[in-house]
Amino acid sequence: MRSDTIKQGDARAAHRSLLRATGVREDDWKKPFIAICNSHVDIIPGHVHLQEVGNFVKECVRAAGGVPFLFNTIGVDDGIAMGHGGMKYSLPSRELIADSVETMINAHMFDGMICIPNCDKIVPGMFMGAMRVNVPTIFASGGPMEAGKTASGKTVDLIDAFVGGVQKAQGKMTAEELDEIEKAACPTCGSCSGMFTANSMNCLAEALGMALPGNGTLLATAADRRSLFEKAAKRIVEMALEFNRVGEGHGLLPREIATAAAFDNSMILDMAMGGSTNTVLHILAIAHEAGVPFTLDRIDELSKKTPNICKVSPSSSYHIEDVARAGGIHTILGEIARGLPGLLDLSARTVTGKTLGENIEEYDVRGATATQAARTMTRVRPGGERSSQAWTVPSVAGDPRSQAAGLAVLESEGESEAPTSNGDGGGHGPSDDGYNAFDVIRTVENAYSKTGGLTMLKGNLAPDGAVVKTAGVNPKMMKHSGPAVIFESEIDAYNGIVFGKVKAGDVIVIRYEGPRGGPGMQEMLAPTTAVKGVGLDDKCALITDGRFSGGTAGASIGHISPEAAVGGPIGLIRDGDIVEIDIPAGKLAVQLSDEELKTRREAWKPRPSAFKSGWLARYQKLATSADTGAILKWD
């Protein structure tokens, strides 16, 4: 075993002495050493419950025959860091997390790893580290948050709180109305309840083959997520032992699972479910660490072939809990496999030990071969009571009449036990409560659009590409032309939007917010929600070399490359220049001749950095533009 390096032979007597001090027993020396890479952080709702989760997974690994060692990473809460200088640290934290994983696994020669991420940069950071160290690894996320409910029964989430803040400032909402939304928007632990970046990445982990079915959609408060952790612990010990027996080439290592076909599968899912634009940034970076050539052009090819069959907040009123009830990620994949045979590579390997196609056969609840375990997962219901604790209630497989904080089971709602009718799973119509699984996850024939929920744009304003979440764009804004209103930072843009500098028809330009320019490529949730709050979301577009929160909707185009800080065209345009956007045609351009752009480029000078020391100064010198995934390069 890999861990024999630190525990076998006379030369390792001192090592064994130190290991005994950590709790290693005399019968542990021949067992696999399993790292549990946790991301418990008290200030992140998606992670506040993970200390309990990490300790539980540790017990499960021990019970499965492994020797567990728990360590933690840092984490940045993008919502709390939003709108001020703290957001500059969010994307760079991805690199620190990847470095931490690499350091811990290689310094201590572990045989396998379970990663317990949940939010924002933590998921891709752990993925990047896992690809580097290339030991058997399973991802088991902390799970999504329940959506909130106001006293009137309206479903709300974090985006409603952001928009409400703008509407209150505009006099469009009372203090009491804002207070009610604020207190209801984030009711439980877990990654925020829409198809934002965290949940998008946790769902993609299933299609990439690195997580067990249910990873992306089972609620954080559901006791059934506990069984997911038990399965992950058992499976990682099996994988470590099997790898020790058979070696490389048997589909047990991250780089053997995360192949070009697997990355295709993950982005096909992303297009089908209209995930966050940040997934493009992160998938490119993860593929780079895996040694897999993957580009914006390839993602664009897949987008043109993949229909958008699932829309979740902020693109609709649905939330992750609704996707779980409709059958989860493997039911989305099942609809794609049925409607477009050959698009997904069903032979791709996964951490279950089975192919993606075999997993779909078991977990697509609309298929004839779905297991009872898959159907049981669709029975999870949010209980609507505030909780920051994991699995606070019984499993849905337990007492069918039980109902408690964070979970209500199917039978307590008076529905059929088998989720094959009345709007659940394989049903063909709405249930008694108006829920229709076939609207949450549509068939290919009834898709929201024939192309994917994300679109890549190019043109003289974005020679190396840009990204827009098409699933969240108002149809009337698919084509738009208007004068540029330029802001040199996110904060200036927010104030300009709220206090009337932007008019109907304008194109808001926010620049010098790219990976190097920010530095750190701040998310633009504050200005995009401000646009919605002032009622211009169907009248204005917003473009930036920065990025957007997964909670962003509207004609918001990000990741413009090259960025302004390295002399990209977005840094050359001026107020009043006419910007042309044609999303169906994949075009982003400014009405300037090549000669004029050349003249402006010759006069352009880089801005001096505000950071002379510390991590961000180092990051700024190494970061690349978004079209490469904002990876760091130093050669």
**Each residue's pLDDT tens digit, 491-517:** 899 999 999 999 999 999 999 999 999
Question: H/E element holding 244?
Answer: helix 224-246
User: Among this protein's residues, is 481 annotated catalytic?
Assistant: no
What pairs with residue 138 in β-bridges? Answer: 114
* 632 DSSP β-pair partners: 623
Position 126 pLDDT exceeds 50: yes
Q: Is 277 left (phi over 0), alpha (psi -120 to 50) or beta?
A: alpha
Of 411, 447, 412, 440, the closest CA to residue 425 belongs to 440
Kindly calculate the radius of gyration of the chain based on its CA atoms and give it in whole angstroms: 24
Please determine, for residue 393, whether its predicted confidence score (pLDDT) is greater than 80.
no
Q: Residue type for 371, please? A: T
Mean pLDDT is lowest, of 340-349, 389-398, 480-489, for 389-398
Mean pLDDT of 274-281: 88
Helix/strand/coil for 465: strand
Does position 554 have pLDDT exceeding 90, yes or no? Answer: no
Q: In this predicted structure, which of 290-304, 353-367, 421-435 has the lowest mean pLDDT?
A: 421-435
| Token pair listed for 555 | 């004609």
Q: Which helix (H) or strand (E) holds 49?
A: none
pLDDT (0 to 100) of residue 569: 97
> For residue range 2-18, what is the model confidence (pLDDT) as tens digits?
999 999 999 999 999 99
Give the pLDDT band (50/70/90) at residue 404.
very low
The pLDDT of residue 430 is above 50? yes
Q: How far apart are CA 226 and CA 224, in angstroms?
A: 5
pLDDT tens per residue, range 301-329? 999 999 999 999 988 999 999 999 999 99
Cα distance between residue 90 and residue 95, in whole Å: 10
Task: Characterise 80 by phi-psi region: left (phi > 0), alpha (psi -120 to 50), beta (else).
Answer: alpha
The CA-atom distances, in angstroms, between 459 and each of 430, 465, 466, 589 are 44, 8, 9, 5
Answer whether residue 418 shows pLDDT above 70. Answer: no
Report the pLDDT averaged over residues 169-196.
92
Q: What is the DSSP letter of 144?
A: B
Helices 525-533 and 490-498: crossing angle in degrees, nearest 10, is: 10
β-pair type (462-468, 137-139):
unpaired
Residue 372: partners with Cβ closer than 8 Å, 6 or more residues away: none
pLDDT at 425: 52
Residue 28 — very low, low, confident or very high, per pLDDT cuts 50/70/90? very high
User: Looking at the predicted structure, is the pLDDT value of residue 411 above 80?
Assistant: no
Identity (one letter) of the amino acid at 134? N
Q: What is the largest CA-CA distance in the chain?
A: 76
In the prediction, which pLDDT does 282 show? 96
For residue 416, is pLDDT > 90? no
Quote the tokens at residue 394. 């019984």
pLDDT score at 592: 96
- pLDDT, greater one: 164 or 100: 100
* DSSP one-letter code for 356: H
| Confidence grade of residue 269 (pLDDT, cut at 50, 70, 90) | very high
Would you say 67 and 26 are in contact if contact means Cβ atoms under 8 Å apart?
no
Model confidence pLDDT, tens digit, residues 134-170: 999 999 999 999 999 998 889 999 989 988 988 898 8
Quick one: average pLDDT of 270-294?
A: 94
As a whole number of angstroms, the distance between CA 15 and CA 7 comes to: 6
What whole-number distance in Å separates Cα of residue 17 and Cα of residue 509?
60
Dihedral, 374, 307, 264, 127 alpha carbons, nearest 10:
-60
Q: Is the pLDDT of residue 402 over 60?
A: no
- DSSP at 381: B
pLDDT at 423 over 70: no
pLDDT greater than 70 at residue 190: yes
Top-confidence residue, 404 or 580? 580
* CA gap 142, 41 in Å, rounded: 12
- Model confidence at 470, pLDDT cuts 50, 70, 90, reads confident
pLDDT of residue 345 exceeding 70, the answer is: yes
pLDDT of res. 407: 40
The yes-or-no verdict on residue 432 having pLDDT over 70 is no
Q: CB burial class (10 A; 0-12, 13-18, 19+) of residue 427?
A: buried
From residue 150, alpha-carbon distances to 184, 316, 432, 623 in Å are 6, 18, 22, 43
Looking at every residue in the chain, the average pLDDT score rounds to 91
The active-site residue, picked from 200, 303, 316, 549, is 549
Letter string b/e over residues 236-270, b meaning 16 or more CB atoms within 10 A of that residue's CB: bbbbbbebbeeeeeebbbbbbbbbebbbbbbbbbb
Residue 417 burial (CB count, 10 A): 12
Here the tokens at position 164 are 């409400």
Residue 399 has pLDDT above 60, yes or no: no
For residues 65-90, average pLDDT: 93
- Cα separation, 404 vs 410, in Å, equals 13
Residue in this structure with the two tokens 């914006």, named with its chain if needed:
296
Are the CB atoms for 383 and 407 separated by under 8 Å? yes
Q: What is the mean pLDDT of residues 234-244?
A: 98
The SS3 assignment for 407 reads strand
Distance CA 288, CA 343 (A): 23
358, with CB counted inside 10 A (0-12, 13-18, 19+), is middle
pTM given for the model: 0.92
What does the pLDDT read at residue 380? 79
3-state secondary structure (DSSP) of residue 556 = strand
- Percent of residues, the chain, with pLDDT higher than 90: 77
Q: Is 364 left (phi over 0), alpha (psi -120 to 50) or beta?
A: beta
Torsion angle of alpha carbons 101, 104, 106, 111, nearest 10°? -90
